Amino acid sequence: MQVKIINHPLIQHKLSIMRDVNTGTKEFRELLEEISMLMAFEITRDLPLEDVEVETPVAKCKSKMLAGKKLGVVPILRAGLGMLNGIIRLMPAAKVGHVGLYRDPETLLPVEYYCKLPTDVAERDFILIDPMLATGGSSAAAIELLKKKGAKHIKLMCLVAAPEGVKMVNEQHPDVEIYTAAVDDYLNDHGYIIPGLGDAGDRIFGTK
């Protein structure tokens, strides 16, 4: 199983609060944004830097800045939207695409209903975001869509993954690195991650 678990104490602490059934929509949303920012810190660790010269108030010095790699962030609607702000606050120059997918409750298969990506897809490195990687169907389909539109470098960032979802993405897209805060135990008969945190979209948007 190829997956990077980001087990920073702050992330693990905040995730535990999110899992709690008594955590309300406002706090859930805030925590997801905070965790996403912390995870983005880790996921961008390999961004290239270039040397620059900076004049401080007292002297000139050599320093480092991002080398201007083009980035794209793509939330899978709708729950992926909950991770977006935390990331673009850290990387305000990133372009944002959207992929709309929902999981059919009977078949558990993803149904596509929207796709809008930056025009220069082939030139960008993408971070695909969705808090839940359950069967893996939605993420695998979104990756397929991005690739069909020309994307060559994709990382998948989720919050909670099931082993089944990691396996599916590993098998279908071995080139895509998966980052998550936790890999849980298993999926129940309704395709929910156990122990998980319930329906992420409903908890973010207060629809249940």
Q: Which residues of the shown chain bind ligand URA in the complex (CB under 6 A)?
A: 79, 132, 134, 191-193, 196, 199-201
The DSSP bridge partners found for residue 65 are 50
Least distance from ligand PRP to the Cβ atom of residue 95, Å: 21
C-alpha span between 189 and 29 (Å, rounded): 27
Residues in 78-97 at the binding interface with ligand PRP, rule: CB under 6 A: 78-79
Q: Least distance (Å) from ligand URA to the CB of residue 14? A: 17
Nearer to ligand PRP, 11 or 32 (CB): 32
Give 168's DSSP letter: H
Q: Which of 130, 143, 173, 197 binds ligand PRP (CB under 6 A)?
A: 130
Query: Which of these segments, 5-13, 59-67, 71-79, 173-181, binds ligand PRP (CB under 6 A)?
Result: 71-79
Strand order of the β-sheet with 160-161 is 132-133, 160-161, 182-183
Residue 118 vs 201, nearer CB to ligand PRP? 201
Residues catalogued as catalytic: 103, 107, 199, 202
Give residues with Cβ within 8 angstroms of 148, minimum separation 6: none
By CB atoms closer than 10 A (0-12, 13-18, 19+), residue 59 is: exposed
Of the candidates 137, 129, 126, the one whose C-alpha atom is nearest the C-alpha of residue 162 is 137
108 binds, among ligand PRP, ligand URA, none (CB under 5 to 8 A by kind): ligand PRP
Between 72 and 165, CB nearer to ligand PRP = 165
At closest approach, how far in Å is the CB of 115 from ligand PRP?
14
- Nearest distance in Å: CB 4, ligand URA: 20
Say how far apart CA 104 and CA 157 lie, in whole Å.
22
CB 178 within 8 A of CB 3: yes
Between CA 164 and CA 64 the distance in angstroms is 41
- Positive/negative CA dihedral, 179, 181, 187, 192: negative
| Least spacing, CB of residue 134 vs ligand URA, in Å | 4
**Residue window 136-165: x/- pattern of binding to ligand PRP, with contact defined by CB under 6 A:** xxxx-------------------------x
Give the interface with ligand PRP as residue ranges (CB under 6 A): 76, 78-79, 102-103, 108, 110, 130, 132-139, 165, 191, 199-201
